[in-house]
Amino acid sequence: MECINGKELKVMCSGAGYYIGTSCNMGPYCRVSGYYPDEETATVALENGFEFRVCEENISCAQGRPCLDNLRVVTITHISLN
pTM of the model: 0.70
CA distance 13 to 42: 10
CA distance 61 to 67: 8
Mean pLDDT, contiguous 10-residue spans, the chain (82 residues): 74 93 81 92 90 67 59 46 46
CA distance 53 to 25: 23
pLDDT of res. 65:
58
Strands 50-54 and 73-78: parallel
